[in-house]
Amino acid sequence: MGAWLARRSLAALAIVLAVVTFTFLLIHLAPGSPFLPPPGRPVDPDALLRTRHTFGLDRPLPVQYVRYLAALLTGDFGPSYSRHETAAAALAGAIPNTLLLAGAALVIDFSLGLALGCWQAARARRAGDVIAGSVTLFIASLPTFWLALVLLLVFGERLRWFPVGGLSDPVTYAALPWIGKLGDRAWHLALPALTLGLVGAAGTARYQRAALLEVLGRDFVRTARAKGLRERRVLLVHALRNALLPFITLAGLAFPFLLTGAVLVETVFAWPGMGKLAADAIFSRDYPLVTASAVIGSAMVVTGSLLADVLYAVADPRTRVPAP
Amino acid sequence: MNPRAWLAVTLAIAAGLAAVALLRRRAAGRPAWRRFFRHPPAAIGIALLVSVTALALLAPLAAPYAPAAQLDIIGLQNQAPSLLHPMGTDLYSRDVWSRLVYGARISLAIGALAMAVAVTVGAVVGALAGYFRRSVDAVLMRLVDVGLAVPRMFILLMIVALWEGLSLPMLVLVIGLTGWFATSRLVRAEVLSLRERGFVESARALGASPARVIFRHVLPNAAAPIVISAALGIGNVILLESGLSFLGLGVAPPIPSWGNMIADGASELATAPWSTLFPGLAIGLVVMALNAVADALRDALDPSQETA
- Whether A141 sits inside 8 A of B151 (CB atoms) is no
**Buried b / exposed e across A286-305, counting CB within 10 Å, b at 16+?**
bbbbbbbbbbbbbbbbbebb
Band (pLDDT 50/70/90 cuts) for residue A320 is: low
The pLDDT of residue B272: 81
Q: How far is B207 from chain A (nearest CA, A)?
A: 35
Whether residue A213 lies within 8 A of chain B, CB to CB, comes out as yes
* pLDDT above 90 (res A311): no
Q: What is the dihedral of CA B306, A310, A92, A21, to 10 degrees?
A: -80
The arithmetic mean of pLDDT across residues A70-92, rounded, is: 83
The pLDDT of residue A43: 72
Residue A86 phi, psi dihedral angles, 5° rounding: -80, 160
The arithmetic mean of pLDDT across residues A177-193, rounded, is: 82
The pLDDT of residue A53: 78
User: Which residues touch A291 (CB under 8 Å, ≥6 apart)?
Assistant: A20, A23, A24, A27, A68, A77
Give yes or no for a contact between A108 and A200, defined as CB atoms under 8 angstroms apart.
Answer: yes
As a whole number of Å, the end-to-end CA separation of chain A is 11
Strand-pairing partners, residue A99, are none
Count of all residues that appear for chain B in the document = 308
**How many Cβ atoms from other residues are within 10 Å of residue A319's Cβ?**
11
What confidence tens digit (pLDDT) does each residue in B66-96 have?
887 777 777 777 777 887 788 888 878 788 8
What distance lies between CA B159 and its chain's CA centroid?
A: 21
User: Which residues of chain B neighbour A138 with C-beta distances below 8 Å?
Assistant: 284, 288
**Helices A178-216 + A144-151 axis angle, to 10:** 130
Q: Pinpoint the alpha helices (H) of A152-244.
A: 178-216, 219-226, 231-233, 240-243
CA-to-CA dists, residue B194 to B122, B220, B233, B297, B306, angstroms:
17, 11, 24, 20, 21
Lowest mean pLDDT segment, chosen from A31-45, A87-101, B206-220:
A31-45
- Whether B292 sits inside 8 A of A140 (CB atoms) is no
Band (pLDDT 50/70/90 cuts) for residue B237 is: very high
Band (pLDDT 50/70/90 cuts) for residue A41 is: low
Band (pLDDT 50/70/90 cuts) for residue B308 is: very low
Q: Is the ipTM of this complex over 0.90?
A: no
What confidence tens digit (pLDDT) does each residue in B30-58 have?
777 788 888 888 889 899 999 999 999 98
Band (pLDDT 50/70/90 cuts) for residue B238 is: very high
Percent with pLDDT over 70 in chain B: 98
Rounded Cα distance between A121 and A11, Å, is: 38
Size of interface A-B (CB pairs under 8 A): 131
**Helices B223-246 + A144-151 axis angle, to 10:** 40
Residue from B155, B156, B162 to probe the interface with A (highest A Cβ count within 10 Å): B162
The pLDDT of residue A323: 44
Rounded Cα distance between B130 and B197, Å, is: 13
Rounded Cα distance between B90 and A142, Å, is: 22
User: Which residues of chain B neighbour A31 with C-beta distances below 8 Å?
Assistant: 162-164
User: Taken in order A91, A94, A98, A103, is the CA torsion positive or negative?
Assistant: positive
Band (pLDDT 50/70/90 cuts) for residue B174 is: very high
User: Which residues of chain B neighbour A279 with C-beta distances below 8 Å?
Assistant: 157, 247
The pLDDT of residue A34: 66
With 0-12 / 13-18 / 19 or more C-beta atoms within 10 angstroms meaning exposed / middle / buried, residue A73 is exposed
The pLDDT of residue A195: 92
- Whether A298 sits inside 8 A of B150 (CB atoms) is yes
* pLDDT above 70 (res A38): no
- How much is the mean pLDDT over chain A? 82
Rounded Cα distance between B96 and B213, Å, is: 51
What confidence tens digit (pLDDT) does each residue in B275-297 have?
889 999 999 999 999 999 988 88
* pLDDT above 90 (res B110): yes
* pLDDT above 90 (res B114): yes
Q: Where are the domains of chain A?
A: 87-320
Is B12 strand, coil or helix?
Answer: helix
What confidence tens digit (pLDDT) does each residue in B177-204 have?
998 998 898 889 888 888 888 888 888 8
Whether residue A32 lies within 8 A of chain B, CB to CB, comes out as yes
The pLDDT of residue A40: 65
The pLDDT of residue A303: 84
The pLDDT of residue B303: 59
Strand-pairing partners, residue B89, are B95
Give yes or no for a contact between A14 and A6, defined as CB atoms under 8 angstroms apart.
Answer: no
- Whether B277 sits inside 8 A of A150 (CB atoms) is yes
Give yes or no for a contact between A54 and A87, defined as CB atoms under 8 angstroms apart.
Answer: no
With 0-12 / 13-18 / 19 or more C-beta atoms within 10 angstroms meaning exposed / middle / buried, residue B31 is exposed
B-contacting residues in A 250-289 (Cβ below 8 Å): 256, 259-260, 263-264, 267-268, 278-279, 282-283, 285
B-contacting residues in A 123-142 (Cβ below 8 Å): 124-125, 134, 137-138, 140-142
User: Taken in order A256, A258, A262, A264, is the CA torsion positive or negative?
Assistant: positive
**Closest chain A residue to B280 measured between Cα atoms?**
A146
Is A100 strand, coil or helix?
Answer: helix
Q: Pinpoint the alpha helices (H) of B150-222.
A: 152-162, 168-177, 181-194, 198-205, 210-212
The pLDDT of residue B175: 93
The pLDDT of residue B34: 80
Band (pLDDT 50/70/90 cuts) for residue A261 is: low
* pLDDT above 70 (res B156): yes
**Closest chain A residue to B245 measured between Cα atoms?**
A264
- Whether B242 sits inside 8 A of A138 (CB atoms) is no
**Helices B96-132 + B181-194 axis angle, to 10:** 40
* pLDDT above 90 (res A296): no
What confidence tens digit (pLDDT) does each residue in A102-138 have?
889 989 998 999 999 989 988 888 888 889 998 999 9
DSSP letter at A318 equals G
B109 vs A319, residue with greater confidence? B109
Q: A87-320: which CATH number, 1.10.10.60, 1.10.3720.10, 1.20.120.720, 3.40.190.10?
A: 1.10.3720.10
Give yes or no for a contact between B136 and B128, defined as CB atoms under 8 angstroms apart.
Answer: yes
Residue B95 phi, psi dihedral angles, 5° rounding: -75, 120
Lowest mean pLDDT segment, chosen from A29-43, A278-292, B219-233:
A29-43
* Cβ-nearest to B157 among A124, A153, A282: A282
The arithmetic mean of pLDDT across residues B20-26, rounded, is: 86
User: Taken in order B227, B231, B237, B240, is the CA torsion positive or negative?
Assistant: negative
Contacts of the segment A33-36: beta carbons below 8 A, 24+ positions apart: A33/A57, A33/A285, A34/A81, A34/A284, A34/A285, A34/A286, A34/A287, A35/A81
**Closest chain B residue to A281 measured between Cα atoms?**
B158
Q: Pinpoint the alpha helices (H) of A235-273.
A: 240-243, 245-268
* Cβ-nearest to B247 among A144, A260, A267: A267
* pTM (2 d.p.): 0.87
Lowest mean pLDDT segment, chosen from A4-8, B97-101, B284-288, B290-294:
A4-8
Residue from A27, A130, A149, A208 to probe the interface with B (highest B Cβ count within 10 Å): A149
The pLDDT of residue A176: 75
Count of all residues that appear for chain A in the document = 324
CA-to-CA dists, residue A226 to A118, A212, A230, B130, angstroms:
21, 19, 10, 45
- Whether B151 sits inside 8 A of A15 (CB atoms) is no
**Closest chain B residue to A295 measured between Cα atoms?**
B150
The arithmetic mean of pLDDT across residues A208-214, rounded, is: 87
Report cis status (omega within 30 of 0) of the bond before A62: no
Band (pLDDT 50/70/90 cuts) for residue A32 is: low
Residue A81 phi, psi dihedral angles, 5° rounding: -75, -30
The pLDDT of residue B306: 46
Percent with pLDDT over 90 in chain B: 22
Rounded Cα distance between A262 and A312, Å, is: 27
- Whether B161 sits inside 8 A of A143 (CB atoms) is no
Q: How far is A318 from chain B (nearest CA, A)?
A: 20
Residue from B158, B244, B258, B304 to probe the interface with A (highest A Cβ count within 10 Å): B158
Lowest mean pLDDT segment, chosen from A102-116, A247-261, B216-230:
A247-261
Give yes or no for a contact between A256 and A265, defined as CB atoms under 8 angstroms apart.
Answer: no
